[in-house]
Amino acid sequence: MKPALIINLNKCVGCGACVAACVMENQYKEGKPPEPGIIASLLSKLVGLPIYKDTPLKEAIKRVERGEDPREVLGKLFMTRTSVIREEEGEYPKVKVTFWHRICHHCDDAPCAHVCPTGATHVTEEGIVLVDKSKCIVCGACITACPYAARSIDVYNRAVDKCTLCYHRIKKGLLPACVETCPTGARTFVDLDDPEAKAEASKACNEGERVLFIK
């Protein structure tokens, strides 16, 4: 299997369904956060990396009840692996709206993997870039190396976080959550080892459509 994600920007309406699906599939956790180790404790003291004792949802409820802005709270506890960026050009009544998607491109020669000092960032045999959070020391080298600004800090697990193309789903023959949820078909998942799928991907990329080819 050689997975790839095609995002047709002409079909994107900026609804954010892909973002919500990703959070619910990958980042919403019911269990308690891991016990802080020595590194986590040091990071907490040095750079203010928070240590939580409850699930993100419970922590969010407590902080909102204390009067904090709900959007800021959710932004800190659920840093999204993908996001839709709205850009506007021109002036009323001639305004053009463009939607761009920030997401890991799973580079063939991933710079993030090269600079990771612990091997936490690694590439699977299928070419998907993943992070082993048990090895991550939050040094930030991979965040700096990423050319697409597609990495963030998972404050819940105290490690770097990024898109995995829903690796746990595609290994079972399922679609990534964002692809399954997109109401306009803007996101398409293909296996480039399949000749028909590869031809379809090439056609989409060469037909003048504004696409992001994630591989």
Which residues, in sequence order, are CB contacts of 5 under 8 Å at separation 6+? 103, 165, 176, 179, 187, 188, 189, 190, 213, 214, 215
Q: Are residues 68 and 88 in the same domain?
A: no
| Two structure tokens written together for 16 | 């954010």
Average confidence (pLDDT) over 29-58:
64
Average confidence (pLDDT) over 52-71:
80
Q: Are residues 87 and 126 in the same domain?
A: no
Q: Are residues 170 and 215 in the same domain?
A: yes
Q: Are 84 and 99 in contact (CB under 8 A)?
A: yes
Rounded to two decimals, the pTM is 0.79
Identify which has the larger pLDDT, 87 or 58. 87
Q: Are residues 139 and 177 in the same domain?
A: no
3-state SS, residue 22: helix
Average confidence (pLDDT) over 160-172:
94
Sign of the dihedral defined by the CA atoms of residues 102, 159, 69, 177, in that order: positive
Asked if residue 191 is part of any domain, the answer here is yes
Is residue 93 reached through a cis peptide bond, with omega within 30 degrees of 0 on the bond before it?
yes
Where is average pLDDT lowest: 40-54, 61-75, 163-177, 189-203?
A: 40-54
Q: Are 49 and 138 in contact (CB under 8 A)?
A: yes
Q: Are residues 198 and 92 in the same domain?
A: yes
Which residues, in sequence order, are CB contacts of 186 under 8 Å at separation 6+? 7, 8, 9, 11, 12, 13
pLDDT score, position 151: 93
Identify which has the larger pLDDT, 105 or 158. 105
Average confidence (pLDDT) over 73-102:
85
- DSSP structural state of residue 102: E
pLDDT exceeds 70 at position 209 = no
pLDDT score, position 115: 97
Q: Are residues 38 and 133 in the same domain?
A: no
Q: Are residues 5 and 98 in the same domain?
A: yes
pLDDT exceeds 90 at position 82 = yes
Asked if residue 124 is part of any domain, the answer here is yes
Average confidence (pLDDT) over 11-25:
90
Q: Are residues 171 and 97 in the same domain?
A: yes
Q: Are residues 97 and 193 in the same domain?
A: yes
**Structural domain for 73, as ranges:** 30-77
pLDDT score, position 208: 55
Q: Are residues 128 and 205 in the same domain?
A: no
pLDDT exceeds 60 at position 214 = yes
pLDDT exceeds 60 at position 72 = yes
How many CB atoms neighbour CB 121 within 10 A?
26
Asked if residue 195 is part of any domain, the answer here is yes
Strand order of the sheet with strand 187-191? 187-191, 3-8, 211-214
Confidence of residue 213 (pLDDT cuts 50, 70, 90): confident
pLDDT score, position 169: 95
pLDDT score, position 35: 64
pLDDT score, position 28: 67
pLDDT score, position 37: 64
